[in-house]
Structure 1
Amino acid sequence: MKKLVLLLLLAMPLFSFAQTKPYLSLADAERVTAAAEAKAKAEGWNVVIAILDDGGNLVSLRRMDGVQVGSIEVAQAKAKTAVYFKRSSKIFEDMMKGEGGARIATLPNATAIEGGLPIFKDGILVGAIGVSGVTSAQDGIIADAGVKGY
């Protein structure tokens, strides 16, 4: 009996690893990507769409035809900004334009270009979208369409 109790006590921490908070599944990421891509296609814009989880890890990446290679990393950097700071990368772009904005450039993982948006579920950050390939304002429009598709 003592061995059974001991075994149960030792096994209890294993049960605590169950996912209890909301998270961004691959299906969620694909839905966000599809909504963003639909908006981009409707406007005739070719872009890269990156979806990251709440730890800043890549879940999904779509590079539409003809998009420059550099946009792959830029899209991921915009999404990482949105994850790390729980806000739009546009906020940092706007701060760069203000007095003393150059300080923003020194923040680690802060890409001050519109096109990165956090994704929330039940008020909890679950990931982010980053878009790159056209103007930053157009990237932002596409990212917004993706988040609304979630």
Structure 2
Amino acid sequence: MDLELALRMTEAALKQAAREGALVSVAVVDGGGHLVSFQRMTGAEIAGPVLAPGKAYTSVAHRMATAELAPLVAPGGELFGLAGDRYVCFGGGVPLWADYGEGERVVGGVGVSGGTVAQDVACAEAAALVWRTR
């Protein structure tokens, strides 16, 4: 994950947010969950600077989209109790995969927060599409 690509991904998420009519924060992290790029739209919710990087980190740490993780951490789910601290377990985080010849591995993640869950997911997917088509 390099800065130029992370910035392009962030911009793609912001463009999708504008189409969705959402005001969001967007974070892109590397394979270690470390922040590479972050942007917050003017007027976006106050929690976005915490939640967007948290969603990106969570998607890397668990190698799955946070929307898929949400039901697993709900009461009765097999990972109940996991949510909290650094883990943000609702939609808007997407892991980024790459194949290095020995199978795919997670090399980064994107997190979006500020819209509805559906809007956050759509924006995160727009950013992930930039990764997949690089």
TM-score (norm 2): 0.85
CA contact (8 A) 1:81 1:111 kept: yes
Matching of residue 130 in structure 1 with residue 115 in structure 2 = no
Matched residue type, 1:88:
A
Matching of residue 68 in structure 1 with residue 45 in structure 2 = yes
Matched residue type, 2:20:
E
CA contact (8 A) 2:93 2:111 kept: yes
| Greater C-alpha radius of gyration | 1
Query: What whole-Å deviation, never above 9, does each CA across 1:79-103 have from its counterpart, x for those lacking one?
Result: 1110101110111212245x61384
**Aligned position for 1:105:** 81
Q: CA separation in 1, counterparts of 2:21 and 2:12?
A: 14
**Aligned position for 1:149:** 130
Q: CA separation in 2, counterparts of 1:126 and 1:102?
A: 26
Matched residue type, 1:111:
V
Identity in percent:
34
Query: Which ranges of structure 2 fall in alignment gaps of 5 or more residues?
Result: none
Within-5 A mapping of 1:13-52? 24-52=1-29
Matching of residue 59 in structure 1 with residue 36 in structure 2 = yes
Count of aligned positions: 126
**C-alpha spacing 1:106/1:121, structure 2 compared with 1 (3 Å):** closer
| Secondary structure in structure 2 of the residue aligned to 1:46 | coil
Query: What whole-Å deviation, never above 9, does each CA across 1:89-128 have from its counterpart, x for those lacking one?
Result: 111212245x613843335643211000001122232110
Q: CA separation in 1, counterparts of 2:95 and 2:79?
A: 22
TM-score (norm 1): 0.77
Q: CA separation in 1, counterparts of 2:34 and 2:71?
A: 26
Cα deviation for residue 146 of structure 1 reads 0.7
CA contact (8 A) 1:40 1:47 kept: yes
Question: Greater relative contact order (Cα 8 A, min sep 6): structure 1 or 2?
Answer: 2
Q: CA separation in 2, counterparts of 1:79 and 1:49?
A: 9
Higher helix fraction: Structure 1 or Structure 2?
1
Query: Which ranges of structure 1 fall in alignment gaps of 5 or more residues?
Result: 1-23
